[in-house]
Amino acid sequence: MHQSASSATTQDTETALQTCRDLQHLAKSASSNGGTVPNGVKIISTLIVTHVNVPEVVQVAVVSLSAVLTGVPHAPALARLEGGVKACVTALQNHTDRAKITAPVTKLLARLCSSSAMTAVAFVKEKRALDSLLRTINTHLADHTVVSPACDLLVGLSRHDKSAKLLPASEVVSVLRDVLVGYLGRWDVCSSSLRVLKNLAKCEDARLTLLRSTECTKLLLGVSRILARLPERRKLFKRAYRTLWVLFQGLLPALPGPEMRLEVAEEAADQPMGDEEMERKLFPEISPQSAVPDTEIYSPEDSIVSRVRATVVSPLHLPDAPTAERSGEMSQSEMFHSDGDVLVARAMLHELERILHPSRVRNELVYDDFEGPLVSQVSTSNNNSYQQAAPGAAPTGSRTVTPPLWETDSTPGTPDLADLGSSRTQRLPSFGRRAVSGVGRVPIEQGEQATNGAAVGSETAQENATKQGRHIGGKAGGQLTEMAVAALATATALEGRGRVGAAAKPGPSQGPAPAAVPTGDTPPLVFESRFESGNLRRAIRVYDREYDLQIAPDANDTDGRCQWFFLSVAAAVPGLPYKFNVVNLGKKESLYNAGMRPLLCRSETAEHFPINGTAHPTSSQYWREWARAGEDICYYPAPYRSPPTQTRGNGQTKGGNRRRRGSQNLSVKGLGNGVRNGEENEGHLTKSSSGKEPVVRGVGSGLHGVTFTLQLEHSGLHYLAMCYPYTYSDLQQYIRNMLHSRLLTPTTSQSISDICRCSLLCRTLKGHRVDALTITDFPSLSFSDNPSECTSDGLVGPERPYVVITARVHPGETNASWMMNGILDFLLGPSDVAERLRQTYIFKCIPMLNPDGVINGSYRCSLAGVDLNRCWGNPNRKRHPSIYYCKRMIDRIARSGRLVLFCDLHGHSRKEDVFVYGCEPLRGREVDRDCVDPRDEAEARARVRLLPYLISRQNPAFVLPKCSFKVSKSKLGTGRVVVCRELGVPNSYTIEASLAGCSTTGRHLTASDYKEVGYAFCRALADATDAIEGGPETEMDLLKDIDAACNLGLVMLSA
């Protein structure tokens, strides 16, 4: 009887194995044909459950299940509904000690749970599923083939909010501690482990658990110290660093949110303009009535500059400040710095000192853009003495929030890190009032000795580390055993000092309490940005001479974009180094690590100045020119994070995986909730079709910052900026001076009105002018009232082609205005080339498309909170008036067939040199043409590179290989693409000039250099005109040169 049962069991096993193999073979065949195996998941899942005690069957069945689910649409849902997830959990529970089963099971589950939140929740809710997973990791801690997919599974479980809340955070951290220590040489496992910790830190429930246990904090601090010494593992160090600051955001002052719901008068936003009025104002070359210059171009109201926030200084004070073009030859300070990115790790470690030693952090708010400097009047004199405040006294005039966060409870004491980590208050916690006990010093820098508590390298710590690190070596990478022991020793030493942040209890084992942080050592600096284009939102004194600078986000921009800065600082002690951290920049990369320095403008003799910001030196004799300055410069991951984003109930942002930029609109009176591209109510999150309410994620994305150290020469006023400022008032003054200068040059009798007319294109949302300049040789134009003698545009004689040039659609790209200045200076100059260009073309120049953004110190957006250079496809007349009327003007010219060139001037914050973005001509298949002559396509590709090639011959800062003519989907709404594809102008370009400098010379570009780019553009246009007028042979020779320089490989051009 027993023999018969055994024979039957063997037969069932063989049958199950054969079934699994057959299904695996069918799955491979179906996958190659794009099909699936019907009921394959259900059959295999049943076999796993019924033969769970037969390892051979389970092993083969799991492999077959993975094959059946490969390439299947909605595989996670299929596995969850047909029992696949439950079968995998059953196999994991019964075969925890078998690596050949646990490895493929965890790998399959990791793939399913990573892509489906519901599958991840289903796995976590399975009985003893998490216990089995953690036990599997502990059992096979020395086996990389099991630990790696198991950690990937934890990543998949922790990336979804619903499943992350169900994870036992303390137990997971305990397991990952052993994994990190044992696998410091296997960076894929380390990466997954750190990702799990970061995901848990982002989950509010898990974050509180991690803060209360403090084991995660100790582990991350120890690992960060090791990874900081490995430059090739900077990404892992950044992940550990970011995780720590997700936990301890409460230690930082809250970032300012975007200024939303700006009310704008309806009449300012809605400015209808008829065709006749448009022609009269914008096309003086075809309107006889405009032969006499308009003497009422400017009204007194045009001199008023209106900011979103109160302006307390003269709106025209910046022209009184140093003009960048006065800079002479480049000094040594104009050279790139040579630090590179070697200081990034040091800057990140320095920021972690705030977590290790919160008692040393001041967190004093010294400037707020709505209130001004929060310091009293400071009198500075030639002697460098200053009064020292009494010990323990707060600096004069600075504001420290009282009571601190932790004193709101009935029991006073040191802060609870769990409260600090979860606090989302807008108040500024100050740690300078009370020393935080129980936090020993962990040496950060190499060679630094441990003090105040158990030494990191103590004998006990080393012994514990050796015991815990028993799995180090072999497959786990034994080459970093010493580092692993040191990491665990750091955690052990911290653990021996008691709970981080807990209230200290007096006892013999505890040394004397740390002394209170001395305040008033150095008087606080005085910041100001309530002037035109200034954008400092808050300044916070972190340490005695270190300040966090929070830049104001673009008004009404929900993305909180910040990258450009402009502010003033005063009351410095001469000769002392001050460290500035601009902490809320959005881009992951910047040219600061490539050698870029910030700009400093120094006042020369201002010894006494008002602190309240109501006035500034008004004479240029007080100023020197702008100069590059700063030491110890680096661009690094800042500890701050952006404000939380609104999402749907399923965790996705409105509009899909990525929230649409500018999704919240400003309120324009008479427009209701705002209109964007004809879509109403787009700026408000309402109930979705599924009925799910919008939710707010508790953690925003990580921000970046630039840190630099300055030694100010005197205590007077200084300006700091990212690039040479050029304000709206600067432009208005330039136009006034140009129009009021009656003669082109003192030696000629030609008037400016003979070559330049200024028109009002439109007004912005705040009522500021958007000027359009028309430059051509007006006296040579003739008008006729006889329609039979006129061309389609009302002109007699040969039709002059048009060139349209725009700039400053992005307010923070100030170098675009300096390039535009160079173009205008050249075209309005007396040179023979300029005269020939004026007689050949009609130039339409719009120097500033976004005056509102420029005035308010925005980086990229208008007051509507949108990037205007993404609105060209369908601009709204009320929300994007400058783009709407500019496109209308360009369309008017393009329909006449006379628009030969469009150029938009920009600055670039992540690339060096000067280059061009163009539009590659559409190929035959892209325009639905069956037969297109390849010679025509090849010639068209060379022609769009004609102007960039000629500019590169005129200016050494222009680098032709960096030019790009590809059009990505994200650029379809830009000016150059819309003018090319929609309006049919192939020569449509964006000229990009680096905000830093040249890669070949290693020097910064000055304002004069940017103007030289404008000169080179005009000379290149003259050369292109000469080549085209020289005949087909001359033009073809030039196209061949372009073919060779750009490596186009166009055979027809060399034939």
> 99-114 and 129-139 helices cross at what angle (nearest 10)?
130
Residue 547, beta-bridge partner list: 541, 580
User: Ramachandran region of residue 908, left (φ > 0), alpha (ψ -120 to 50) or beta?
Assistant: beta
CB 710 within 8 A of CB 546: no
Q: CA 34 from chain center: how many Å? A: 41
What is the distance between the alpha carbons of residues 503 and 501, in angstroms, rounded to a whole number?
7
Q: 3-state SS string over 823-875?
A: HHHHHCCCCHHHHHHHHHCEEEEECCCCHHHHHCCCCCCCCCCCCHHHCCCCC
Q: Is 939 an annotated catalytic residue?
A: no
Residue 675, beta-bridge partner list: 680
Please, how many CA atoms are within 13 Å of residue 670, restricted to the half-sphere of its CB?
Answer: 9
Residue 830 burial (CB count, 10 A): 12
Q: 3-state SS string over 561-604?
A: CCCCCEEEEECCCCCCEEEEEEEEECCCCCHHHHCCCCEEEEEC
329: tokens are 């030859």
What is the distance between the alpha carbons of residues 555 and 535, in angstroms, rounded to a whole number?
11
**Residues 460, 185, 176, 59: is their CA dihedral positive or negative?**
negative
As separate numbers, helices (DSSP H) first and strands (DSSP E) second, the chain gives 33, 23
CB 893 within 8 A of CB 899: yes
Of 715, 749, 989, 774, the C-alpha closest to 290 is 774
What is the distance between the alpha carbons of residues 29 and 629, in angstroms, rounded to a whole number?
66
CB 806 within 8 A of CB 851: no
Task: Classify 743 as helix, strand or coil.
Answer: strand
What is the distance between the alpha carbons of residues 381 and 834, in angstroms, rounded to a whole number?
52
What is the distance between the alpha carbons of residues 457 and 446, in angstroms, rounded to a whole number?
13
Which residue of the set 992, 1029, 1033, 1035 is catalytic?
992
CB 817 within 8 A of CB 1010: no
What is the distance between the alpha carbons of residues 261 and 665, in angstroms, rounded to a whole number?
7
Residue 298 burial (CB count, 10 A): 17
What is the distance between the alpha carbons of residues 1016 and 651, in angstroms, rounded to a whole number?
51
Burial class (CB in 10 A: 0-12, 13-18, 19+), 184: buried
Q: Residue 106 contacts by C-beta under 8 Å, 6 or more apart in sequence?
A: 92, 133, 136, 146, 149, 150, 152, 153
Please, how many CA atoms are within 13 Å of residue 28, restricted to the half-sphere of its CB?
Answer: 7
Residue at token pair 């783009």: 883
Summarize the chain as % helix, strand, coil (round to 5): 40, 15, 45
In single-letter form, the type of residue at position 458 comes to: S
What is the distance between the alpha carbons of residues 978 and 558, in angstroms, rounded to a whole number?
25
Residue 658 burial (CB count, 10 A): 9
Of 690, 693, 661, the C-alpha closest to 676 is 661
> 144-158 and 99-114 helices cross at what angle (nearest 10)?
20
Annotated catalytic residues are: 992
